[in-house]
Amino acid sequence: MSDLSVRFDELPTRDGGRIGVATLNAPKSLNALSLEMIRQLDAKLDAWAVDRSIVAVWLEGSGDKAFCAGGDVVALYRSLTEEGENRGAGRDSLLAETYFSAEYHLDHRIHTYPKPLMVWGDGIVMGGGLGLLAGGFQRLVTETTRIAMPEITIGLYPDIGASWFLNRMPPGVGAYLGLTGASLNARDALDLGLADRFVPRERREALLGALEEADYGDRSRAALRGAVQRVLDQYEARDAAPAGQVMPRLDHLQALVGTVDAATAVRRILADPRDDDWLAANRARLASGCPLTAQLVWRMLERHAHTSLADAFRDELVLSVQCCRQGDFVEGVRALLIDKDKAPRWSHPDVESVPEEAVQALFVSPWSSESHPLRDLGLGHRVG
């Protein structure tokens, strides 16, 4: 097997084109998204975008367990503790700035990619993996797909554009998912706009073969998209998707979070007496999660209810870097992934105790508007 962090291939099509295939290649870490993977993928997508012979792009993960289980937060932790000597507030965040800037640039590229980009969201899709999936032209999920944004467990918050796309779900649902880190299956992903097609895992090889045999016409945007859509029509099998978890509980979830502040929503969720395994698992995750994160989830959804995707990414970069510098991220990763004691010492005992000034401090940008690393993001681009 190749030791490259991302493997690239090009499949010939019957009409003389090629399909670019990118495979995240770190199965031992469930394809956790490293900075090197981000850079390699971004550069190749840039090249494929202007290569007229490339008619479509297919993005997947290696192994049979995960598309991508999230960003490489362990590497971030080590850069903040070993290089920064764990100094607490003001710790070195150079890798964090570099990593999140590159990741959000890549995610935005996928959202605005000029050619049909398909994402095979098989297996675990969490955090940074969802950032890759969410922007695809055709987001394909299978019977093994498990999607989650569990940042509440590590003291971060749902980033990777989630401040924007969670707001496009039914009212209240995005907030509930962000607060609880709830696990979603393929049906949920379809219902909530995180996926476009359900394709059984066993049909992957046949689907790729059919894409190679397709006619991509005059290579116009419409012709390329139409060709991909026609092939996918033949392989989709929504009737085989698992039963959804969110929509059958929609009224209940909206009643829990239909409030004006994070503290009240958290209190209602934790006090919910309903005997339901899915809800109970979500309550438990929230109960042990980071109080500061809960406030950030709520605040980011308020801030980006009506902004552009590029504006959301710019704001997320500020917040993500500040969470590394002075938030609970380092302690959350330590407790969950390094020492694995699952006993984080959060900076506040509960959501009500988080002072407004602590929240506001995390939104102070380290950059001026002219020097922001993502200042040009979105200029000349249109989503969708």
- What is the structure's pLDDT at 77? 94
From the list 368, 288, 271, the residue with the least C-alpha distance to 332 is 288
Q: Is residue 382 part of a domain?
A: no
Q: Is residue 346 part of a domain?
A: yes
- Give how far Cα 146 sits from Cα of 188, 194, 231, 240, Å: 10, 12, 25, 16
Identify the CATH number of the domain in which residue 75 sits: 3.90.226.10
- What is the structure's pLDDT at 94? 86
- What is the structure's pLDDT at 383? 44
Q: Is residue 183 part of a domain?
A: yes
- What is the structure's pLDDT at 83? 55
Q: Is residue 23 part of a domain?
A: yes
From the list 12, 13, 47, the residue with the least C-alpha distance to 227 is 13
Contact (Cβ atoms closer than 8 angstroms) between residue 146 and residue 123: yes
φ, ψ of residue 92 to 5 degrees: the values are: -60, 125
- Count: domains in the chain: 1
The CA distance from 92 to 143, in Å, is 42
Question: Is residue 366 helix, strand or coil?
Answer: coil
Predicted TM-score (pTM) of the model is 0.94
Q: Is residue 333 part of a domain?
A: yes
Q: Is residue 384 part of a domain?
A: no
Q: Is residue 1 part of a domain?
A: no
One pLDDT digit (tens) per residue for the chain, 384 residues? 456 899 999 999 999 999 999 999 999 999 999 999 999 999 999 999 999 999 999 999 999 999 999 999 999 999 999 754 544 445 567 899 999 999 999 999 999 999 999 999 999 999 999 999 999 999 999 999 999 999 999 999 999 999 999 999 999 999 999 999 999 999 999 999 999 999 999 999 999 999 999 999 999 999 999 999 999 999 999 999 999 999 999 999 999 999 889 999 999 999 999 999 999 999 999 999 999 999 999 999 999 999 999 999 999 999 999 999 999 999 999 999 999 999 999 999 999 999 999 999 999 999 999 999 999 998 755 443
Q: Is residue 146 part of a domain?
A: yes
Contact (Cβ atoms closer than 8 angstroms) between residue 294 and residue 152: yes
Domain range for 62 is 6-361
Tell me the DSSP string of 103-158.
HHHHHHHHHT-SS-EEEEE-SEEETHHHHHHHT-SEEEE-TT-EEE--GGGTT---
